[in-house]
Structure 1
Amino acid sequence: MSDVKGVEVNIMGREFTIACPPDERESLLNAVGYLDKKMCDIRDAGKVVGVERIAMMAALNLAHELLSTRSGGVDVGGMKGKIARMQSLVDTAIAEQNKLF
């Protein structure tokens, strides 16, 4: 079982403690920063009032971004796999090249 710890985060000036495994902490903090920026941008635009409404608009915007990315034919998981395979090929080629010297 992983060692889950509470991570203190701040979203729109509000403090939250979120349970998170240590190896996912950086990813969580990146997500929090992205969400905080989206919510602050919506708040600062002045067209939406209230934290719940701002959160709902941010959620809708993020869902739209995700679905747009998916429908655009971009498969992030697939791309990561391709990059890993390419890296492996590069590593193999470099190792073979180093044997020649």
Structure 2
Amino acid sequence: MIEEPLQVSIKILDKEYRIACEYHEQEDLRASARLLDHRMREIRQSGRVIGTDRVAVMAALNIAHDLIQLQRSRAGSDGEPGKRLRQLQERINAALSAERAEALEPNQTADADTDGPSQLDAPDERV
């Protein structure tokens, strides 16, 4: 069954708009409208921009700038996820190697069986 778009009523700078969107997108649409309304009110209250059209353009530019900055910051931190994963894997391996070395008895080597004694210490234990 194909769902028809839902008509959602939003308010931006005290003006109401009816926007068609999918049912599962309505909360995101409302959140977007609240963000835009907030930004437009901030710009209008600053008194430096006059006219609703100019306020809307300035708000859109500010939001687009924020988006670009966020994308750049994520690209910088996630630019090489493989490198970060390798670094974490190396740290895990080093920690496990150190733990294994501490657990070995003085006469054991790293190639020895590290699964513990061949018999259970407590005969009543079950696996």
| Matched residue, 1:54 | 55
Q: Give distance in 2, aligned partners of 1:27 and 1:47.
A: 30
Residues 74 and 13 (structure 1 numbering): CA distance in 2 closer, same or farther, change over 3 Å? farther
Say which structure is richer in helix.
Answer: 1
Q: Compute the displacement of 1:65 (Å).
A: 0.2
TM-score (norm 1): 0.70
1:70 positional shift: 0.8
The residue number in structure 1 matching 2:41 is 40
Determine helix, strand or coil for the equivalent of 2:74: coil
Structure number, greater radius of gyration: 2
1:74 deviates by 5.2
Q: Which has the higher contact order (CA 8 A, sep 6+)?
A: 1
Report matched runs for 1:1-101 at 5 Å.
Answer: 1-73=2-74
TM-score for the superposition, normalised by structure 2: 0.56
Gaps of 5+ in 1: 76-101
What amino acid does structure 2 have at the position aligned with 1:73? R
| RMSD (Å), alpha carbons | 1.5
Spell out structure 1 runs of 4+ moving beyond 6 A: none
Identity of aligned residues (%): 36
How far apart are residue 51 of structure 1 and its match?
0.5
| Structure 2 unaligned blocks of 5 or more | 77-127
